[in-house]
Structure 1
Amino acid sequence: MIYLTHLPHSVRVKPYIQLLWYIAQDENEAAAASPRMIPDGLYHLVINLGDAHSYLDREGRLVCSKRTHVNAHQSDYVDIARSGRVEMMGVMFRPLGFAALLKNPVHEITGGVRNMDELLGAQVLELEERLMDAESISAKFLTLEGWLIDMLQPEPTFRPEAEAAAALLIGHHGLVPVRQVAEQVQMTERTLERAFKAGLGVTPKQFADIRRMQFVLQQMELRDERMLHYVLQAGFYDQAHFIHRFKRMVGMTPSDYFRKRNLLSDLYNTRASTAVTLEENP
């Protein structure tokens, strides 16, 4: 397997993009993994340069995507159904960065897998052709970054206070009350909610729930503890409520997750990416 990341160089891109990534696997490796994408509160643009794949949502519905798409599921998981050769590129946006690529508010696309040509038009097909023609991974990264420079709106579409609020929720693993966050960034809760819906597609409370569940998953990767430990770490005072929220977002109970976590691929999940990422600076 090849997994490389690229940190954007352009000052036009850095405010919106956290990193670009590239993945390649042969058919045997791909067949052995069953990746599950667990919400992390961020948007991930995917460009599939290999064989076709599809998604299976928590209701068992099969969604066939085009080459370039975004997974906008922010409240529950989605599985990837793959076959054949895997070659993919992706863009991991900063919390409100995806809004800079769109003409409409983000909440209008949240809740499914969206094909980018339906949102951006022919420029997406042109990007796919240029990436396929690029002769090296470095050239692909530069091509993708150049396309983003052309496509991203020149001025931020989000309020800096909302960006600061998202950073606070991430930094505190979603465990700080939204009311306190709003006060710190000097916004009313209602105004902050509107800004989040427009730029992130979710409310601050929903974003906080996602981030605290991601924090629990990170802790589970590091050590095995009694269930009560994770319940308290996630800010829950009721174990049944914690298990219900965990099952909806991850697709299994915490106990099942402990048994199966080594069988689930973390390839597309940002919480594990640092363990397998090799940096490439073209």
Structure 2
Amino acid sequence: MFYRKFPPPAHLQPFVECFYIWEYSKTLAKPLTVESPPSGFASIVFNYGTPYRVTSQKLNGGFVPKNFLTGQATKSYQLQLSGQIGMVGIVFRPAGLHTLFGMPMYEFSDERTNLRDVLGKCVDEYSDKIEEASSHGERLALLEQFVNVQFLRKNPVADRTDFAANLIVDKRGLININDVISELYVCRRQFERKFLQKVGVSPKYYTRIRRVGHLCNELAQKRWKIDDWQDLIYHYGYYDQSHFIKDFTEFIGKAPSLYVKNNAELANYLKN
């Protein structure tokens, strides 16, 4: 199993979190179900492996498009993989996809939307080249080119919404939205409307998504033990254990102890 993240060039860093390549060239001996918590990032994915299924609150285990755009995930979801794994992706900073491509992100929350339906026939050229590429370097270069073309066409500038959304990510969701609004000297109603347009969910809800997503990644990488629940609750700003369990279960669909014990989540493969 090969998975690796690659940082974007400096001019794309306000808008792109990373590029990634995920491959398993052998045929999986048996179908693999991998669960992922919401991460707080939108992405564009090109799949050159075996088609796979996704189950979520909106998707009922059907095959996802070969190349797709995904907005904010608001709940945990599962990938059902079989055959060979081969995909590359662009993970965007929370407002980056809108800033670069201008799409209303609230329309894409919890969805896997065919990329050709959104961006047109130009997707086919990149899809073919990515599939035909003979190295990871070639595929990475094609991803950068794909974003750079739009960057040069759009000449984007990160605005206050980008700044606020990126700050929520950097603070792992542990931030007071009222303080952010005061710091930016913006009207709350205008800020919330713009945030919904650019990120896909409300600012307050996004802090909760980012907090639980980062927490799940910490649990997946075994940085916390079950005996450390009280320290974890304090570290992530929950009022008490019942608040922590309620919030966790709302997003993940299971209690934290069951998640740690039984779950083969995506973070075991897609390490940060």
Q: TM-score, normalised by structure 2?
A: 0.88
| Counterpart secondary structure, 2:22 | strand
Relative to structure 1, the CA distance from residue 176 to residue 8 in structure 2 (aligned partners, 3 Å threshold; closer, same or farther) is: closer
Structure 2 CA distance for aligned equivalents of residues 268 and 45 of structure 1: 18
Q: Distance in 1 between matches of 2:269 and 2:250?
A: 19
Q: In 2, Cα distance between the equivalents of 1:100 and 1:30?
A: 42
Change (3 A) 1:130 1:56: same
How far off is 1:85 after superposition? Answer: 0.6
Indicate how the Cα distance of structure 1 residues 190 and 115 shifts in structure 2: closer, same or farther if over 3 A, else same.
same
State the match for 1:266 in structure 2.
Answer: 267
1:97 matched to 2:99: no
Distance 2:239 2:188 in 1: 24
Give, in whole Å, the separation in 2 of the partners of 1:7 and 1:22.
12
**Equivalent residue number for residue 170 of structure 2:** 171
- Kept after mapping to 1: 8 A contact 2:39/2:214: no
Change (3 A) 1:142 1:219: closer
CA apart distance, 1:97 = 0.8
Q: How does 1:61-210 map to 2 (within 5 A)?
A: 61-152=60-151, 153-156=153-156, 160-210=159-209
Please say if 1:255 is aligned against 2:254. Answer: no
2:47 aligned residue:
48
The C-alpha deviation readout for 1:127-175, integer Å capped at 9, x for no partner, is: 11111222222111112211221234523275x2222212332233222
Question: 139-148 vs 169-178, which deviates more?
Answer: 169-178
Hey, what's the Cα distance between the residues in 2 that align with 1:34 and 1:148? 30
The aligned length equals: 268
Structure 2 unmatched runs, 5+:
none
The alpha-carbon deviation at position 219 of structure 1 amounts to 4.2
Letter in 2 for 1:2: F
Question: Counterparts of 1:242 and 1:56 in 2: how far apart (Å)?
Answer: 25
Among the aligned pairs, what percent are the same residue? 23
Contact 1:30 1:85 (C-alpha < 8 Å) held by counterparts: no
Partners of 1:208 and 1:77 lie apart in 2 by 16
Structure 1 distance, partners of 2:269, 2:118, is 23
Deviates more, 1:226-235 or 1:85-94: 226-235
Which residue number corresponds to residue 6 of structure 1? 6
CA deviation profile, 1:199-240 (whole Å, cap 9, x unmatched): 111111011101221343244331213434333333232533
Task: Tell me the CA shift for residue 53 of structure 1.
Answer: 0.5
Is the contact made by 1:68 and 1:116 (CA closer than 8 Å) also made in structure 2?
yes
- Given residue 121 of structure 1, which amino acid in structure 2 is its aligned partner? G
CA deviation profile, 1:15-58 (whole Å, cap 9, x unmatched): 32122111111445574642222111111211111111010114
Q: What is the Cα deviation at residue 77 of structure 1?
A: 1.3
Q: How far apart in 2 are the matches of 1:242 and 1:236? A: 6
Cα RMSD for the two superposed structures: 2.4
TM value normalised by structure 1: 0.85
Q: CA deviation at 1:122?
A: 0.7
